[in-house]
Amino acid sequence: GVHLSFYPMWIDFYKGDMTKVINLLGDQDSIIKYYGGLDKQAIIDSYEHQFERAKQLDPEYMVFHVCNSNPIESLTYKFDYTNLEVINYTLDLVNNVFKGYGPSLLFENLWWPGLTFLNKVEAKYLLDKTEYSNKGFVLDISHLILTNKNISTEHAAYKYIMDVVNKLDMLKKSIKVVHLNKTLPKYYFEQDWNYKLERYLRQENHQRKVEFLKEHIKKMDPHLPFEGCYAKKIIDLVEPEFCVYETSPNSINQFNFYVKIQNEALRS
């Protein structure tokens, strides 16, 4: 599959609310560097180019992340947009870009506002209102786990995933791909996030702010492999066409180790 670009904080820019965008990014040069231009056409052009490239590569599917969150929101969990608002802006964008024939367009869940899979009506609405006919979902397991801050074991993760997926009913059949990875976020969510927010706001060096955010996201979503029998239970439950080991190793040796662990988990 082809992962399309993901702009975590894109809606203010797409709406043309440049006051908020400048507050977030600082100046026009930073805006151009982040989005590729100074108005929403930059994002549209980028996705149109990626769509054309994907058609040339002819993958099985393309992945589009349905989400919006800025750095401060990721630390406070006080969001400017609801799931449905993010979905509606996503529909406006994808219906502008994805037309005609091409690889499957699969929408991936995250744990911030957008597609979370916690609301079947919202997920169905996204799929129904997408005009591109070749469409479906990617279920990222860690992203779903992160919608429950109390999960600390693989067993608890599986029980939660089973509950959410079963509530999707027939919509489950639209999940074509599973990103198989693990996070057990309870400990991190129990830490003092007000202190983390203060550290972020005090930091004046832009690059250090970026590194701080990367570390923050990695601690929530470390892309670890499953180690026990619940990996197979999840795949048997969802029955996707593709199971992708989306892990984040630090070396080729760790990569081989992660693949081995998850292979064994799927055979258990």
Per-residue model confidence as pLDDT tens for the chain (268 residues)? 999 999 999 999 999 999 999 999 989 999 999 999 999 999 999 999 999 999 999 999 999 999 999 999 999 999 999 999 999 999 999 999 999 999 999 999 999 999 999 999 999 999 999 999 999 999 999 999 999 999 999 999 999 999 999 999 999 999 999 999 999 999 999 999 999 999 999 998 888 999 999 999 999 999 999 999 999 999 999 999 999 999 999 999 999 999 999 999 999 7
Evaluate whether residue 143 is within a structural domain: yes
Contact 226, 182 (CB under 8 A): yes
**pLDDT score, position 268:** 79
Any residues with CB less than 8 A from the CB of 189 and at least 6 apart, and which?
149, 150
**pLDDT score, position 54:** 98
- Domain range spanning residue 124? 63-267
Q: Is 183 helix (H, G, I), strand (E, B) or coil?
A: coil
**pLDDT score, position 26:** 87
Evaluate whether residue 44 is within a structural domain: no
**pLDDT score, position 211:** 94
Evaluate whether residue 113 is within a structural domain: yes
The number of distinct structural domains making up the chain is 1
Query: Contacts for 155-160 with beta carbons within 8 Å, 24 or more apart?
Result: 155/228, 155/230, 157/182, 157/184, 157/230, 158/230, 158/233, 158/234
Evaluate whether residue 255 is within a structural domain: yes
Q: Is 59 exposed, middle or buried (0-12, 13-18, 19+ CB in 10 A)?
A: middle
d(CA 107, CA 177): 10
Evaluate whether residue 75 is within a structural domain: yes
Which pTM does this prediction carry?
Answer: 0.96
d(CA 42, CA 11): 13
Evaluate whether residue 234 is within a structural domain: yes
Evaluate whether residue 183 is within a structural domain: yes
**pLDDT score, position 114:** 99
Evaluate whether residue 27 is within a structural domain: no
**pLDDT score, position 206:** 85
Any residues with CB less than 8 A from the CB of 10 and at least 6 apart, and which?
35, 43, 68
Any residues with CB less than 8 A from the CB of 129 and at least 6 apart, and which?
91, 95
Any residues with CB less than 8 A from the CB of 229 and at least 6 apart, and which?
265, 268
**pLDDT score, position 194:** 95
